[in-house]
Amino acid sequence: MSSAHEFRYDRLTWPEMNEAIGMQKVVILPVGSTEQHGPHLPLDTDAFLVEAVCHEVGRRASDQVLVLPTLAYGLNLHHIDFPGTIHIEPEVFISFCLNITKSVAYHGFHKLLIVNGHGSNMPLADIVARKTVLETESLCAAVTYITLGVEAFEAIRESEVLAHADEFETSLYLYLAGERVRTDRMLPDNDVQGRYLSSDSTANYPARFNDYWGRWTTQGVHGDPRSATAEKGQVLWETIVNALVEMVQEWRAWPLPERSDQHAHPVQKQIRW
């Protein structure tokens, strides 16, 4: 397969990579996690879903996209009371991802996009994107794919909470690989909630705080997966993939002009941060 049609970064040879660099494809880095998702979803939920989304974007826009191998580990110490969860320290995650983005930028790609599938990774992915811009001549942005489906979810949701192993994630998994979902083990659960904070730091609260899940749940679920269906998952899938394809197109066309220095006097260019 030619570099114009192959969307998987690691499937190209180095001469084909030169062609892809010449095409200035957007390079996507999917990041997820390996963590508990209740009694009904596999540990691979975050990594599997974000990879599926990114690969479908690659299939639909293969002439514009290269998708890196998925990073299947993230910040997960708050889930460590549940067997199987793998945690990566935030400093390690940031450094590892930054090494990837800087390598991609080194080869000559100008537009990078981190697509995140695990909520606790997002502050870290944002830092990686910012540092990539500041430390290279390329542009890098970060997005959590779930945010692209929230509006569509509002029209079909039956549960109150959008959080973890919930109606949203379970519906997507049912649509993509329903045979892996333990539908007989679906149970609802909720976190501790106040006026300004919740134990799971959900987006509808202004303060950010994430407690050890072993303090407030024995199920590892935040939300109600019982209302999930494959049909809802298909709606979310199409909405998210279409939005991400549009985002890639916008990002690929984003201007990258030379910087303009406004200093009237000499600066100390030897200073490094």
Residue 27 lies in a domain: yes
Domain count, the chain: 1
Residue 264 lies in a domain: no
CATH number of the CATH domain containing 142: 3.40.50.10310
DSSP state, residue 213: G
Give the dihedral of Cα atoms 260, 264, 269, 273; nearest 10 deg.
-70
What CA–CA distance (Å, rounded) separates 78 from 223? 17
What CA–CA distance (Å, rounded) separates 172 from 49? 8
Residue 189 lies in a domain: yes
Give the domain extent around 89: 9-252
Who's near 81: CB < 8 A, 6+ residues apart?
212, 213, 214
pLDDT at 90: 98
Taking the chain (273 residues) in runs of 10, the rounded mean pLDDT of each run is 89 98 98 98 98 98 98 98 98 98 98 98 98 98 98 97 97 98 97 94 89 97 98 98 98 97 96 88
Residue 4 lies in a domain: no
pLDDT at 1: 64
Residue 265 lies in a domain: no
What CA–CA distance (Å, rounded) separates 208 from 202? 8
Residue 267 lies in a domain: no
Residue 58 lies in a domain: yes
Q: Residue 226, class by beta-carbon neighbours within 10 Å (0-12 exposed, 13-18 middle, 19+ buried)?
A: middle
User: What phi and psi values does residue 198 have, to the nearest 5 degrees?
Assistant: -135, 155
Measured CA to CA in angstroms, residue 198 lies from 64, 89, 148, 211 at distances of 40, 23, 23, 9
pLDDT at 165: 98
Pairing of strands 111-116, 26-31: parallel
The pTM assigned to this predicted structure is 0.97
Residue 242 lies in a domain: yes
